[in-house]
Structure 1
């Protein structure tokens, strides 16, 4: 995740000079308060905040908060040979961002993908792919990795398969990231939830070795070239993921192997932080080779639900001078006493059914908090990232979780696991909320 007010984004004057070309109607600039004179900003009409649902923890299911045809679209990513049968890229944990490289906007996209023959991205997948484009609407092309690995699959920038590229003093794949085998699952070891960042002139990929790996947790790669790599592992991950081992995790994970997952990157000025699943963070050393050592990782000051459920995909985004902490949370349905349906971010329990994988957001004046009560920012848009386009327009990604609930229905699974983006709206310097762009 990149601090939206501190990244290098193309300005309006530059775009008018012809650098960005045509963005398409859906990517026209969104004027923000910072771009207006003070008196104009004060007079600008912002969309309203919706009152919080009571009790705190109920999920807002209104269609206004769904990605729809009028506020979202699927990225036309270049297909790999494996994608031809489905007709699009199967993707979870969709990540998109916009950076300025050599004076021009460069859009990047990545996410969790699967191998042919598997229904999902476990118990193994074959690495991380990257797409780039000059505009949010494309054309989206696979990163050109042919000069790095001639004859290999184009666009694949990192994989456990690349272990043979290790050299003394340069590790691409650590031993704990390599594939392994057992009698229960066979081949094991998947990588998920990647984010790609351009920071201080270098490209960084933060990702996570998933539940079927020898060690589960987040790691950081740094490119020794451009966006396509070649990437190597930073020093702090040569022996393990970031942070200390945790006591929880699936039963099939060896004790001591489970660490904080879904690592994310936040940068502001000359400083960078690792945001870890789902409530702690750590500052990076200035050389970005490891996090600053600490006995216990600091935790965000949050306003938890009465019974805090399992939250995923923590992400921090700055806009309007405020910090937005984004989580993914399952909206679970149950029955009220009067027989009506209750939607809430509850813990699993008999009688509760997963419905939608939502994006819930809280806001604070400082990175560490304290953060406000959360609100539903996007229905079915969980495990995403927020970003600004080259004109300052606000967007979120989504992927439609096929694991359970609404998008797991057989009538909808063909439309799940997608690379989608949806417009966001800001309720202004007084409201300080971000929502999926609601219907007028």
Structure 2
């Protein structure tokens, strides 16, 4: 009996080789796809969406009152009053162009309200000339000396520089007193941020420099802030991502300035108005960053040849979160398109609000009927993020 003919061995080997090649190709495709997705995901961080309707300022938000102001700050005091302050211009000053505060102004002003609807002016609460020490005298440029003659908005400026910017009012519970953080653009005594303490325990003051900045700025840059943790520990937060714990008596820093640990954009753009608050067992780091509308899409990442001052659209309220006040902080997200350099606070009923000032810079300014006015935006906290509350008026 004849045995069945055997199939050539090379046939099965050839099939195995083809199968292995197919597996390798599929693996290469999947790996390449994974790399592409990972690259795309990395590129997504730092992009913006200036048209996202849920992040726009609700059209119901109008100026809280009619007064020229930037960097609006609002808070609820222990006396049941809401307080507002901000960067202001000298009331009786003549301006050849639009009103501004870039070269000099006359001090800090305060408003209060019981219901956030009707606001009462409390007048000037701190003056450089009357209440300052190193802040007292202006920096005056002599004939022939070079100085910036036009602001970033193109406003004509004097040769006298002496403006106080970005004031924040904080009632520090552990100290049972009011404190103000503000900064000087320039003065004969220098520039930078400083902390003031109320001498009466009242928000109207009068105020004095704390010991740490009696003779010079406690922080050599703008936009200082304060944060009191739930255990009573107070921190100073500074421009360009700095933080330092304060002494228990609020007289100065208890440690050297440290850099906040953040997930930065690449490259990192110019960032202002740092502010920290705590909610839902998280530390929320709020900062102001410009969005750009470009040929490559909306972005916060500045790129040579793509972004420029002309591509700026909105000054946004950007937030990231952390489990520790020093960080590391999460990826940033936009909470309010056009809400940059602001703060968030809760009202008497626990509702969240954010301030704004209707920034006159950027393309978004053309959408406002009026700019540089204090505004209050109802906010909501959902899924670990803050955003404008469009349903607030219907509650």
TM-score class, shorter-chain normalisation, is 0.7 to 0.9
Give the Cα–Cα distance (whole angstroms) in 2 for the partners of residues 211 and 420 of structure 1. Answer: 28
| Residue of 64, 73, 77 corresponding to 1:75 | 64
Give the distance between the partners of 1:180 and 1:309, measured in 2 at CA. Answer: 29
In structure 1, what is the equivalent of residue 377 of structure 2? 422
TM-score (norm 2): 0.78
Moved over 3 A (4+): 211-214, 348-351
- 2:190 is the alignment partner of 1:215: yes
Counterpart-to-counterpart distance in 2, 1:421 and 1:283: 30
1:108 aligns with 2:86: no
Per the TM alignment, residue 175 of structure 1 is displaced from its structure 2 partner at its CA by 2.5
Match of 1:59 in 2: 48
Aligned to 1:360: 318
8 A Cα contact 1:124 1:189, kept in partner: yes
Residue 345, structure 1, aligned to residue 320, structure 2: no
CA distance, structure 2, for counterparts of residue 266 and residue 213 of structure 1: 29
Flag the structure with more relative contact order, 1 or 2, with Cα contacts below 8 A and sequence separation at least 6: 1
Look at both structures and tell me which one has the larger radius of gyration over its CA atoms. Answer: 2
CA offsets per residue over residues 259-302 of structure 1, 9 Å max, x none? 221001100232111100131111111111111242xx112111
1:123–1:212 contact (8 Å) kept in structure 2:
no
Call closer, same or farther: CA 1:110–1:367 in 2, change over 3 Å.
same
1:190 equivalent in alignment to 2:163: yes
Instruction: Name the CA distance, whole Å, in 2 between partners of 1:176 and 1:231.
Output: 13
- Correspondence for 1:329 among 259, 273, 289: 289
Counterparts of 1:213 and 1:415, CA distance in 2? 34
Residue 436 (1) aligns with residue 395 (2): no
**Distance in structure 2 (CA, Å) of the matches to 1:175 and 1:182:** 18
1:262 is paired with a residue whose SS is: coil
CA distance in 1, matches of 2:187, 2:300: 27
Match of 2:203 in 1: 227
Instruction: Give 1:439 deviation, angstroms.
Output: 7.0
3-state SS of paired residue (2:181): strand
Return closer, same or farther for 1:232/1:393 CA change in 2, 3 Å cut-off.
Answer: same
Measure, in 1, the Cα distance between the counterparts of 2:273 and 2:258. Answer: 17
Query: What is the rounded CA distance, in whole Å, between the counterparts of 2:391 and 2:207 in structure 1?
Result: 43
The reply to whether residue 238 of structure 1 matches residue 228 of structure 2 is no
Separation in structure 1 between the aligned mates of residue 133 and residue 129 of structure 2, nearest angstrom: 11
Tell me how far 1:369 sits from its aligned partner. 1.4
Q: Mean alpha-carbon deviation: is it higher for 379-388 or for 196-205?
A: 196-205
TM superposition shift of 1:417: 0.7
Choose the corresponding residue for 1:94, options 72, 83, 93: 72
1:7-406 maps to which residues of 2 (within 5 A)?
55-61=44-50, 62-70=52-60, 72-76=61-65, 88-101=66-79, 105-115=80-90, 116-118=93-95, 119-137=99-117, 139-143=118-122, 155-162=123-130, 172-183=131-142, 184=147, 185-199=158-172, 200-211=175-186, 214-225=189-200, 226-243=202-219, 259-268=220-229, 269-294=231-256, 297-336=257-296, 342-347=297-302, 349-352=304-307, 353-406=311-364
- Distance of 1:216 and 1:223 partners within structure 2: 22
TM-score where L is the length of structure 1: 0.70
- 2:24 aligns with none
3-state SS of the aligned residue for 2:104?
A: coil
CA distance in 1, matches of 2:83, 2:194: 19
Q: Following TM superposition, by how much is the alpha carbon of 1:309 offset from its aligned partner in structure 2, in angstroms?
A: 0.5
Report the alpha carbon displacement of residue 395 of structure 1 after superposing the two structures with TM: 0.7
Paired residues in the alignment total 325
- Secondary structure (helix, strand or coil) at the match of 2:248 reads coil
Judge conservation of contact 1:65–1:438 (CA < 8 Å) in 2: no
Residue 439 to residue 305, structure 1, CA distance change in 2 (3 Å)? farther
* Whole-angstrom CA distance in 2 between matches of 1:404 and 1:205: 29
State the 1:106 CA deviation.
1.4
- The answer to whether the 8 Å contact 1:190/1:213 transfers is no
CA-atom RMSD, angstroms?
2.1
Question: Can you list the C-alpha shifts for 1:325-368, whole angstroms capped at 9, x where unaligned?
Answer: 011000012212xxxxx111122644421111001111111211
Q: Which moved more, 1:264-273 or 1:53-62?
A: 53-62
Which SS does the other structure have where 2:206 is aligned? strand
